[in-house]
Amino acid sequence: MSKINPLFFALGIPVVVIVILVAIVVPRMGGGGDFGNLTRFDPTAYRKDWATLQGNAYRLDCQIEQQLSFVEGRGRVLAVKPIEKDSSRTSGRIPIFVPVSAGDTFEVGQRFKCKLRVNRDLLVVESLERF
């Protein structure tokens, strides 16, 4: 009967644990969760001609800069800064409307992944999650 080398267990178990953790963490970092199947929102294209984007849904990763308005029972308008993967592209701030149905509290500096719908010249948040 052959013995299993203890070195196999000492190195094999941590390797298996690391592989499992990577399999769980990597899809969450790059996939976008519930919004992974949406096209990224392009603020430059929106500013150039919002009518071409009208009615479509997009994903926006953003950081809250300021609350511009709040109407009880309707929602709020937030100024957000899009988070770009390419740090050389700066798109400035854009206003988004978050209806009461989103049911979240917001503070300056928080980061969100949003599902946006371009409704006329307004960016309406349909759903969002913190990250």
Domain ranges of the chain: 37-130
Contact at 8 Å (CB) between 116 and 58?
yes
Give the Å distances, CA to CA, from 103 to 13, 37, 41, 44, 76.
43, 23, 22, 29, 11
pTM: 0.70
pLDDT of residue 1: 54
Average pLDDT over residues 49-59: 90
50: Cβ contacts below 8 Å, ≥ 6 apart: 118, 121
The answer to whether 92 touches 43, Cβ cutoff 8 Å, is yes
**Average pLDDT, stretch 29-39?**
69
pLDDT, mean of residues 15-26: 83
The domain 37-130 having CATH identifier 3.60.15.10: the answer here is no
> Mean of the pLDDT values across residues 57-69?
93
Confidence of residue 78 (pLDDT cuts 50, 70, 90): very high
**Residue 97 near residue 74, CB atoms below 8 Å:** no
